[in-house]
Chains A and B, each alone.
Chain A
Amino acid sequence: MKTRGERQTLFVWMLIIATIIIGYYGRDLAKLLDARWLIKFPSAWVIRFNVEISAAMKWLVEDAAIGPISFTDVTRGIAWLIEQPYQLSLALLADGFIVGQGAEAVPVLPAISWIVVTTAVIALGQYCRDWGLAALVGACFLYLAVFGQWDSAMVTLASVIIAVPIGAGGGLLLGIWAYRHPVGERILSPILDLMQTIPIFAYLVPILFMFGFGPVSALVATIIYATPPMVRITTLALKSVDPEILDFGRMVGTTRRQLTWRVLVPSSSQTLMVGVNQVIMLTLNMVIIASMIGAGGLGFDVLAALRRLDIGAGFEAGIAIVVLAIAVDRLSQAFAERIGHIDRPVTGSWVSRHKRTTLVGVLLLLTWVLGQFSPLLLKYPESQTITTGVFWNDTVKYLNVNYFDALEALKIFFLTWFLLPIKKVMLGIPWPLAIVLLSLLGWRAGGWKLALLCLGLSGLIAVSGLWAKAMVTVYLCGASVILATVIGIPLGVLAALNRHAGTAINLFIDTLQTLPSFVYLIPVVMLFRVGDFTAMIAIVLYALAPAVRYAAHGVRSVSKDLIEAGQVSGCTRWQLLRHIRLPMALPQILLGLNQTIMLALSMLVITALVGTRDLGQEVYIALTKADTGRGLVAGLAIAFIAIIADRLLKAGARNARIRFGLES
């Protein structure tokens, strides 16, 4: 006898399999029935959202006003506010202070010397943790100087220094607001979903309209992209503050403000720093795209190098981004741990209490004064820089000349047996069937609310006329996610079970995540030519990280008791893995899958640059045609796909947790 639930599950599975079969023969079927509308959404039913959105955006930018203050005045005011600290940090780190303009410009004070900056980060590293960290960050910054990346890196750092506090601070405030007002959370949550899933290219044009051309728009775009995790983590962190601490705060008679700022925020500072860390990483992720609209710096170097096919130079600039990310990331983490400690009061003069600050200050003055005589003190000499560019160019060339045929065979194999069948199915599934299936899955996983959501969002994609492109998107992302999972989970398990492998895998994953995908996209094009396979490789490389991390985390956090119980019952290592570790890690692995899908979708816009024909390309076309509506509609379609996948998987993970008794 099967229970009702089991029968339902069986039914859903059969439906999925039937859909796949129908999809595979979809085109023939449609031809046979003479019903092409089944696989191609009738254009007569398409609602032209893009025209409306364009018009609305035009109105907003050109005509919207409250009294004498127009909408653009407000946005330009914000831009001005962001610009001031940005100019200051840029002058300090990169350009120096200059009075006057053009031919009359007189440099007043040069930018802070590379020696001082490097000393300062070393001192900070030592202050925050120990000499080990100091050595690491020192080496990172020396790398930037020695490899000739200093100037660009400082331009990038200047924007990171501005974007991160705004993103983290704004995220904190929004998160607190959402924590205090449950309604606020309900309003904010879908907005955050959209902020995270709509590709940035989709709203680049309106941002440029609103905030003007130049680095500020790039900063705004970066902030929009990097803030959502901070908001979520803040709300989560505040919610997970020990209820006793909350009670304590109220019992000593704190006002709401005191409760928030003196009890809740400090006691969740560790978790909040995870959010800050995320903001930093995402900010550095945005470096390339930001450079397209005026941020300059390392991102621009990568783009320019690749436009002239100088793979080595692009790679070096890309590695410089990674190095900068590592330095800033480790420093911020150590700093977070450090703020937990309060020093025992030290007596003595100001100088003896602030040795590091004094040292850096003295060095700064020295380099500024003596720098007038010896430029070496201000700028790392160009003649002393080294480059590995030739090496990278030669490596790619060697691979290309010697292994192209083997790689080609591999590619053909994957295309024939993996990619093309999936593509055929996806494009062949009749859209009404797909919508029904999604709704059913939603109903099964999360009840009628989720079913309605799936129905609504997939329906909207259909009526926006982007069904076919959405299906190509699903196909490309789906195939990449499958591959990323197949590669990522074993890697994650290995990382969890073997400490050395874990260290190596983590470094690899970190690098993949911060290295701008553009850097490896072009060599991949050289080895695999333009096409879906190349796009898939790029997506897999980028989206691998969460699959690995969550699998590792899931396997690591399986309760020790269970493992011991397994050992006592005589499980072999393999059986332990198969019957205890993996099943118990399943909820985490599902969450990792969820993140993998999100990252895969966010790579779409980048893969459009190597010639895919999906929603990413639609967004990209809209960008190059400055068509706000078209870009936003395509961007929203991507976001909808992401939201459907996210909700279904989260519901699935929740069900799994309930089944294992990890949640009620």
Chain B
Amino acid sequence: MRSSSMKPKAKLSCSDVWKLYGADSETFLKNRASPGGEDLERAGLVGAVRNVSLDISEGEIFVIMGLSGSGKSTLVRCLSRLIEPTGGEVLFDGVDLLRASERELIEIRRHKMGMVFQHFALLPHLSVLQNVMFPLTVQAVGKVEAEEKARDVVELVGLKGREGNFPRELSGGQQQRVGIARSLVTEPDLWFLDEPFSALDPLIRREMQDEFLSLQARLHKTIVFITHDFDEAVRLADRIAIMKDGEVIQIATPEVLVMNPATDYVAEFTRHIPRSKVLTVAGLMKPELKGKGVPVAASDRISNVAKHIIASDEPLPVADETGRIIGSVDRVTVAGTLFESGKTQ
């Protein structure tokens, strides 16, 4: 689902969210419309999240990317109200989360939100099945029904046969599968993943990313995905928000980020990213309708179709989602991108 071109309604949106640490931070924020870094420093406050506004669309994979200490974890906890923001507004399906009562919040979390954690956060005293059942047990769902649902998701994440194991008996990757199964068992609309793969080995990480994508292709959740790994962000994201010092610097599709970084900081991240992995066919396409042979999709990444295009002597036609031919792409342009010598900058 790469639908950046469309503008569906926002599932989760926040505006002017602040999280300040320090004495009397609320009063401080009330008295100043938009304090800068120096103002904060003078007041002895730490700005973990500063003036963040986001709109996350239904069915979108929205990645929040930043280095450690950039405030990405705090931001996602503000969005789920695990942390009480100092100021701002968070709308989930049009409901202001920050105004929700304890009771309402519990209901929303029970039925509409799921979360996956960096270090899995499995309960050590429960088996795989019991861990996955846990969110349902908390809601007092009947045991038979809960177990049935849990078995389904355990199978979905490929852990069938491991139901009776305990977390400590599983590898890291398997543990995170349990974490994913557990977060999905309540069939949430909104799925938070807080650096879900960063504690895993590189090979496993890649495998999990692929599975995550195929899972999402079936489930169509609205996803907020946190990572400090730009490669991962590029691989998974529909849109990426880059954070630094509590502020969101740029929100854009991977393609735009690479092609038009808003600041040097962003450019620094994108520099070593091979353009071919980010650019889509649409980005290199020429509008002439002259290609021959099997068309390539406009939304495909260059790296995925490069082999195909280069093998062809003639330019290939480019089709949009509906299958309509909208242009063509030739091997020279693609080769230029692959070797980074094209006119991409």
Contacts and interface: CB of A to CB of B under 8 A. Distances in A.
Given A247-B115, A344-B164, A253 B138 contact: yes
A344 B164 CA distance: 7
Contacts of B121: 242, 244-245, 247-248
Given A251-B113, A251-B114, A258-B138, A263 B127 contact: no
A252 B135 contact: yes
B110 interface: yes
Contacts of A267: 123-125
Contacts of B105: 253
B301 interface: no
A248 B125 contact: no
B138 A340 contact: no
A155 B314 CA distance: 97
A4 interface: no
A251 B117 CA distance: 11
A517 to B, nearest CB: 39
A250 interface: yes
B138 A269 contact: no
A342 interface: yes
Contacts of B117: 244, 247-248
Nearest to A250: B82
Given A252-B110, A252-B135, A262-B138, A340 B115 contact: no
Given A251-B82, A263-B123, A340-B125, A244 B118 contact: yes
Contacts of B119: 242, 244
A242 B80 CA distance: 18
Contacts of B269: none
Interface in B182-240: 186, 192, 194
A344 B130 CA distance: 13
A657 to B, nearest CB: 23
A266 interface: yes
B166 interface: yes
The interface size bin for chain A is 20 to 34
A242 B120 CA distance: 10
Given A262-B138, A266-B125, A339-B125, A253 B109 contact: yes
A340 B124 contact: yes
A255 interface: yes
A529 to B, nearest CB: 56
A246 to B, nearest CB: 9
A267 B131 CA distance: 12
B125 A269 contact: yes
A251 B80 CA distance: 8
Interface in A296-349: 339-342, 344
A254 interface: yes
A244 B106 CA distance: 17
B106 A255 contact: yes
Contacts of A244: 117-121, 194
Given A250-B82, A252-B138, A258-B138, A245 B110 contact: no
A248 B110 contact: no
B134 interface: yes
B11 interface: no
Contacts of A255: 106
B34 interface: no
Nearest to B80: A251
Contacts of B114: 251
Contacts of A254: 106, 138
Given A245-B121, A267-B124, A339-B125, A251 B115 contact: yes
Given A244-B118, A251-B109, A251-B114, A341 B82 contact: no
Most-contacted residue by chain A among B113, B125, B137, B192 (CB, 10 A): B125
Name the residue in B82, B111, B186 with the highest tally of chain A Cβ atoms < 10 Å from its Cβ.
B82
A262 B110 CA distance: 15
A118 B107 CA distance: 52
Contact of A250 (B109, B124, B134, B186): B109
A525 B114 CA distance: 69
Contacts of A341: 166
B79 to A, nearest CB: 12
A253 B188 CA distance: 12
Given A245-B123, A266-B123, A252 B77 contact: no
B139 interface: yes
Interface string B89-125: 0000000000000000111111101110111110111
Interface in A239-298: 242, 244-245, 247-248, 250-255, 258, 262-263, 266-267, 269
A595 B110 CA distance: 46
A341 B167 CA distance: 11
A630 B111 CA distance: 62
Contacts of A247: 77, 82, 115, 117, 121
Nearest to B192: A251
Kindly name the residue among A253, A267, A269, A344 whose own CB sees the greatest number of chain B CB atoms within 10 A. Answer: A253
Interface in B268-301: none
Contacts of A344: 164
Contacts of B111: 253
Nearest to B125: A266
A254 B105 CA distance: 10
A252 B146 CA distance: 14
A242 B124 CA distance: 12
A266 B123 CA distance: 8
Contacts of B127: 342
Contact of A252 (B120, B125, B134): B134
A167 B121 CA distance: 31
A458 B50 CA distance: 49
Nearest to A339: B125
A250 to B, nearest CB: 6
Contacts of B137: 262
A250 B77 CA distance: 11
Interface string B72-83: 000001001010
Nearest to B83: A247
Interface string B114-157: 11011111011111000000110111000000000000000000
Contacts of B123: 245, 263, 266-267
Contacts of A258: 138
Chain B CB within 10 A, most for which of A252, A253, A266: A252
Given A247-B77, A247-B82, A248-B121, A253 B107 contact: yes
Contacts of B135: 252-253
A389 to B, nearest CB: 47
A250 B115 CA distance: 10
A253 B106 contact: yes
Interface in A375-396: none
B105 to A, nearest CB: 8
Contacts of A262: 134, 137-138
A340 B167 CA distance: 11
Nearest to A345: B164
A348 to B, nearest CB: 18
A250 B119 CA distance: 16
A341 B77 CA distance: 33
Nearest to B103: A255
Contacts of B82: 247, 250-251
Given A258-B138, A341-B166, A253 B124 contact: no
A251 B82 CA distance: 8
A128 to B, nearest CB: 16
11 contacts: A242-B119, A244-B117, A244-B118, A248-B121, A251-B109, A252-B134, A253-B106, A254-B138, A266-B123, A339-B125, A344-B164
Interface of B: 77, 80, 82, 105-111, 113-115, 117-121, 123-127, 134-135, 137-139, 164, 166, 186, 192, 194
Query: 4 tightest CB-CB pairs across the interface, nearest first?
Result: A253-B110, A253-B109, A244-B121, A252-B135
Interface of A: 242, 244-245, 247-248, 250-255, 258, 262-263, 266-267, 269, 339-342, 344
Given A254-B138, A258-B138, A267-B123, 11 more contacts: A242-B121, A247-B82, A247-B121, A251-B109, A252-B109, A252-B134, A253-B108, A267-B125, A339-B125, A340-B125, A342-B125
